[in-house]
A and B are shown apart, each in its own frame.
Chain A
Amino acid sequence: MSSKRVVAKLQPAVNASVTRALRPEFAQRLQYSTRTIANQATTPRKLEARQLQPFVRLASSEASAEKPARTGLYELHSKYGAKFVPFGGYEMPVQYSDLSIIDSHNWTREKASLFDVGHMVQHHFSGPGAEAFLESITPSSISTLPPNQSTLSTLLHPESGGIVDDTVIARLPDRFYVVTNAGCREKDKAYLSEQLESWKQKNPDQPVEWNILDGQGLIALQGPLSADILSRVLADESVLTLKSLYFGQCTPATIKGTDVEVLVSRAGYTGEDGFEISIPSAATEAVTQFLLDNAKDELRFAGLGARDTLRLEAGMCLYGHDLDDTTTPVEAALSWIIGKDRRAKGGFHGDSVILQQLKKKSEGGGVSRRRIGLIVEGSPAREGAEIVSESGEKIGNITSGCPSPTLKKNISMGYIKDGLHKAGTEVQVVVRGKKRKAVVTKMPFVPSKYFKQPTTAKA
């Protein structure tokens, strides 16, 4: 029924992209964002939302006088009543007029929400040296990553093994698709340029090509109804593919009634089943509108506010808060991202530090602090609050916190002295000068509901 209209709507967008691509300034990008969209995978990534921050950061956001950028969906957000805040160099919706943050949060857990994550940075790495290059800067086992599969990873500082940024890396048939945080855009660019330069010098026979997909749209469809809703806007063969697309996998897909190709990754930043969809610039708005129009009673836009409470409940890190340049993956409770073969052989930035930390304490290993979850009584404990022992000694600090709309308890994430990180440990958190009882709690706080590949063989 409505698919005909959509064709009419989407087609001009597609055509537009073609004409555009002919113009010289787009030539370079074209190769990556138009022609190859068909076989890109998108892995969307985790995101960051920190809504809280804009408040607190007023001072610094005033300082950086640069005008924030806008994603391709800015007009659409406005139409849907978005309230914007500066975030990661962009004006991003923090919430919309139809739902409060709590309502939007609950809506996501019960139905489905659509998040614009187009401010995040999408990259392609290709060439004979791409795999080895990525293995040199991350602890992930990229060589064993199957095609159309993605993994959470971290870009690492040489020597220290501190985290430059967290990222999702997907292997597409002919390249890697990497998504990094908007807030780290400039830092990551400088880091990657430097790393590539030094790679080139050491490995002249293994060239790597790196491209940033400027303008490429990225939206996250999250919530239990996501697969149903996405199916309504995909071509039949893509709908079939979706049925066996499991968490962490990605696939190219076609929008129903058009030849618009998108990259669909079953992933997200909420703990719910869902997808991140990478869309050619010219079709981003039309595809987003198509989704909204096809699920009027089930799908709503959600902003950074709900994104932050959802990701906290899911126990996921937000770079710049729960992770920074001084944190190693082991301290950040992200040891699981370090590949088996990488543990044996090393060969990545900071490997001597990180592999030592992975060892048992009796072998001189371990870390002095660990990332943990806390449930706090009374007031929510937010970033900056101190974690103290019964005697008042400082034993850690909170890096993120909010009232959990799902649990109706105050949840926080933070770092605590090694040894006190076991679930059930009772501590105190100081908020406004008062100590509040808190208990170290396993994360995710709210169980994840990913669409996972059945473990009993898929034969």
Chain B
Amino acid sequence: MASRSSVVRAARQLTSAAVKRPSPFACQQWRRTAQMPRLFTVSAQSKEKKYTEDHEWIEASADGKTYTLGISEYAAKALGDVVYIELPQVDLEVGEGDAIGAVESVKSASDILTPVSGTVAEVNEALEQKPGDINKDPEGEAWIAKITVSGEPAGKLMSEAEYKEFTEEA
């Protein structure tokens, strides 16, 4: 729908490099092919915070069974004053790439896409009352949801350094 756009598009809007970006479809294809090798890389390093090209972040719990998901500081800054956050319902089953909620700022509505499949275990209800908190601490207190996963995240994920580079070249 016309008035919806992903966080990535919102963030892109601040830059002029949008044209160069792969379309979501291209991305998904890529994810599928990338899935296989990833199965073998279950290691401690996968528990560090990772970022998506759509400007979400995920971080695994110590046991690796639950991932906390939020939007990046870059995205929060790009969106501006956030006035409403639509959270997913607890127990909702979600698939990789699904829109599980949305962030509404004065200027736009942006979907929150999950890079992991699983079940929503917990949502940050405090954001319903104080959506503006997401502008203050998007990668900490203002996390969005926790998702219990059955496997490893499959799509393209970036380390903090890679993500930083990604947003700088954008």
Contact = CB atoms under 8 A, between A and B. Distances in A.
Do these two chains interact? yes
Contacts, number: 75
B1 A384 contact: yes
A385 B81 contact: no
A432 B109 CA distance: 10
A102 B107 contact: no
Interface stretch (B10-18, B27-35, B61-69, B139-147): B10-18
Contacts of B2: 56, 382-384
Q: Give the dominant DSSP class at A's interface.
A: mixed
B3 A382 contact: yes
B3 A305 contact: no
Contacts of A431: 109
A58 B80 contact: no
Interface residues of A, number: 32
9 contacts: A58-B9, A102-B106, A379-B86, A380-B84, A384-B2, A385-B3, A402-B107, A405-B106, A432-B86
B170 interface: no
A385 to B, nearest CB: 7
A54 interface: yes
Interface of A: 51-52, 54-56, 58, 62, 83, 85, 94-95, 100-102, 105, 305, 308-309, 378-380, 382-385, 401-403, 405, 410, 431-432
B136 interface: no
Nearest to B85: A379
A102 B83 CA distance: 10
B13 A403 contact: no
Given A56-B3, A62-B18, A382 B109 contact: yes
Contacts of B5: 55-56
Nearest to A62: B19
A380 B104 contact: yes
A51 B107 CA distance: 7
Given A102-B81, A379-B86, A383-B2, A58 B18 contact: yes
A442 to B, nearest CB: 23
A58 B13 contact: yes
B81 to A, nearest CB: 5
Contacts of A380: 83-84, 104, 109
Interface string B52-96: 000000000000000000000000000011011010000000000
A379 B102 contact: yes
